[in-house]
Chains A and B, each alone.
Chain A
Amino acid sequence: MDKLSIILDDDKTVFASHEMIRGRVEWNLDANPRRLDLSLFWYTAGKGTRDVGVVQSVKIDDPGAHGSKEFSFALPEGPFSFSGKLVSLIWALELTCTPGSETVRREITLSPTGREILLGSIPAQSRLSWSRSDSAPDSVESILRAGR
């Protein structure tokens, strides 16, 4: 049975900006593929039509039916992994085989906080409106507020 796998060093899946991702891809296929492609990319999920940004790709020509290869990618500054009410942004590594439909994907997180950023939602009825008379609660922003 065809098998592709992506193994990350130390099984690390959370990264900060500009950090290196290192690991190894392994393949064990029934026939000799023409090519294997390993890509580092982000994609969006949610209500909107999917957007994809491929950051880096590595091509392995004539890899043979079985084998393994180490890889390393430098992550960019962003965009960060996040999840909102409408949009999620997911980073992933993907190994594909040509010809064939065999694919394996390994999701990772790019975030300065060590986890995916969660975006909340402010309901329309509680949104700030002109008629609002009470001031905003004390916060860094309100402390910094300075009039003329």
Chain B
Amino acid sequence: MVRIGSHGHGDKPPGVVGKVGLSLFFFAFFAMGSLFEVLILRDFARAAGQRRWEKVPCTIVASEVQERHGSEEPYVFAVRYRYEHKGRVHEGSVYQRGYHGSGGYSKTEELVRKYPADTSTWCYVNPVNSDEAVLRRASMLIGLTFLFPLIFVVVGAGGIYFTWRRRTPEEARPIAPIASAAARNQVLGRYGLAAFFGIFAIVGGVMFYFLSVRPIARTIAAESWVETPCKVLRAEVRDHDSDDGTTYSVYILYQYEFEGQTYKSDRYDFLGGSSSGYKGKARVVAAYQSAGNPVCYVNPRNPSESILKRGFHAKLLLALFPLPFLLVGVGGLVHTVRGRSASPAAAAMLGPIGRIGPIGCMGPTGVGRQVLAPAASPRMKFVAMALAAVFWNGIISIFVVGAIDDLRHGQFSLFPTVFLLPFVAIGLGLIAGAVYQLLAMFNPRPTLELSSGAIPLGGAAELRWSFSGQTRRIKELAVTLRGTEEATYRRGTDTHTDRNVFYEMELYQTADTVEIASGQVGFVIPQDTMHSFEAENNKILWNLELHGDIKGWPDVKESFKIHVTPGNI
């Protein structure tokens, strides 16, 4: 019996040196994740501990915004409050444990407005130490971040375990029980996948609300805010260090009067955040520094709320950034939930023979005349290519625009530009592909009809074809019967599919325009070959390929799957 050597289920195991190296690598994951877990657990325990603190009435004695120069968080909510505990009067000044200040004036002033002087509120006192009190207890939401470093801990520990575990030689491992377990795991895996996409959708939805819906809604609402003269107190470009380099933001502190009261704010627009590109922001700051009569827009229902820039502007498009996450999450969830009730592997476990013929385009085991559907219609090919081009170029354009912006301002850097070039080339290729598929949509469209929907090995069938559209544009036509084996495998995180053509027969070839427009041909499937077979990763496919040559235009290339059965129908 002929066998193929490689089973494609794992490479040669590493030696001791390799295992030690792998273990060190995974240990770094494990140690880093564990360290973060310890820190998170410590903060969570402290926050949970504050739930036992006693809630007592207190009076705000003083409350103001203090400025601390030279700090990343220059605005501090400075508060003093008085409370009584165990028969003694105490004075506290801690707003929240771990609070150090804020980068924005408006946020800090919101706290001043929430806790104004000479008002009563509640504070929380440590029952063990009456001198220790806070206005606001630490959030227990920190516990949710426990899951993120857990991934590193699991990857690290799992990696070490799988590096050193003893494996039974593949030949000695049972197949059937493993397959049964795998089928069960695949069903469980569907739930896992649904949960993954569900989390993606929830996170995407939350991000979309806070980063997209809310800023855009507030921008629209600000159209009715009252235009008010304001005085610029400070205008500067702030820089922020991050893993991706330095980013910049516009910072303008301004003061205005509304209904006899003076307010301060530092809200420039509703998006906030920082990005690369210094010069554009410097121009905005310079304009406000030199502005004779700057105006801001004040919310008449809450005059402490104001903004300098309202209306639609290009930066608002960035607010749509979380949309793909939401779409991927929802799309993945719908696809997973509405997908096949059982995976192919699971189906193979249940059915008596797995699937011995293609199910997709022709129906299960259709007999009698069948109109064949192409594997992919020209419209679908165009849509798929256009979506890929839009998605790819949409991402790449952000970097290209940044690079062009840098170039325009004399900040050309060679390495990032060279690094970007292959990605731009792929983007251009996708655009060219989309244009090609668009042109191909206007080609004559073939219709193929087969005398039988299921042809047994050694059986004969008759194929009829006809074209609609401008058939005369096709100069030559070829119809080919092709048998292909397909093997899908995973290498690392990538999935590859290899194909091998084991049978090919040209059934018809003509340059006659009448014969091209419509014709028929008979053919026989060889007796000593393999019937159609489709499992999850391995397939035997039989196709009728149609190739019409059009000079100076994309050719007609269509593939039609046919169903070859093991025996007589």
Which residues of A come within 8 Å of B, CB atoms?
17, 37, 39, 41-57, 76-90, 92, 94, 96, 101, 103, 105, 107, 109, 112-113, 116-122, 127-128, 130, 132, 135-136, 139-141, 144-148
Contact = CB atoms under 8 A, between A and B. Distances in A.
B530 A119 contact: yes
Given A86-B487, A116-B1, A43 B179 contact: yes
A82 B530 contact: yes
A77 B509 CA distance: 36
Contact of A117 (B176, B354, B521, B528): B528
Contacts of B480: 128
Interface residues of B, number: 80
A47 B487 contact: yes
Contacts, number: 231
B112 interface: no
Given A103-B172, A128-B504, A146-B521, A45 B3 contact: yes
Given A17-B567, A37-B177, A54-B180, A88 B522 contact: no
Contacts of B414: none
Given A49-B537, A128-B480, A117 B489 contact: no
B502 interface: yes
A53 B501 contact: no
A148 B328 CA distance: 50
B241 interface: no
A48 B567 contact: no
B3 A77 contact: no
Contacts of B489: 47-49
Contact of A53 (B349, B457, B528): B349
B352 A76 contact: yes
A130 B478 contact: yes
B225 interface: no
Contacts of B510: 147
29 contacts: A43-B175, A47-B8, A48-B538, A49-B489, A51-B537, A52-B178, A53-B349, A54-B180, A55-B353, A79-B353, A81-B1, A84-B500, A85-B502, A86-B499, A94-B174, A94-B175, A96-B176, A103-B174, A105-B175, A107-B1, A117-B528, A119-B530, A121-B502, A122-B501, A130-B478, A130-B547, A144-B460, A144-B521, A144-B524
Sorted from nearest, which 5 A-B pairs have the closest CB atoms? Answer: A48-B487, A52-B179, A51-B535, A53-B354, A39-B176
B536 interface: yes
A122 B349 CA distance: 33
B315 interface: no
Interface string B337-363: 000000011001101111010000000
B518 A77 contact: no
A83 to B, nearest CB: 4
Contact of B538 (A41, A44, A112, A132): A44
Contacts of B486: 48, 86-87
A46 B489 CA distance: 10
Contacts of A57: 176
B530 A84 contact: yes
B566 A80 contact: yes
Given A130-B555, A141-B523, 19 more contacts: A46-B6, A47-B4, A51-B344, A53-B349, A55-B353, A57-B176, A79-B356, A83-B3, A84-B502, A86-B4, A88-B2, A96-B174, A105-B174, A118-B2, A119-B503, A141-B505, A144-B460, A147-B510, A148-B514
Given A46-B6, A49-B489, A83-B2, A77 B353 contact: yes
Contacts of B555: 130
Interface string B512-527: 0011001111111000
Nearest to B512: A147
A47 B566 contact: no
Interface of B: 1-4, 6-9, 168, 172-180, 182, 344-345, 348-349, 351-354, 356, 457, 460, 476, 478, 480-481, 483, 485-490, 498-510, 514-515, 518-524, 528-531, 533, 535-540, 547, 549, 555, 565-567
The CB with the most chain B CB atoms within 10 A, among A48, A79, A80, is that of: A48
A51 B481 CA distance: 26
A146 B522 contact: yes
A83 B502 contact: no
B4 to A, nearest CB: 4
Given A44-B538, A49-B488, A107-B1, A86 B520 contact: no
A77 B532 CA distance: 13
Contact of B522 (A87, A94, A139, A145): A145
Contacts of A140: 524
Contacts of B547: 130
A39 B349 CA distance: 11
Contacts of A119: 483, 485, 500, 502-503, 529-530
A51 B478 CA distance: 35
A45 B345 contact: no
Contacts of B174: 94, 96, 103, 105
Contacts of B481: 141
Contacts of A49: 8-9, 488-490, 536-538
Nearest to A47: B487
Nearest to A120: B502
B459 to A, nearest CB: 12
Contacts of B549: 130
B553 to A, nearest CB: 14
Contact of B535 (A44, A45, A116): A44
B519 A89 contact: no
B524 A54 contact: no
A82 B487 CA distance: 14
Nearest to B508: A145
B177 A96 contact: yes
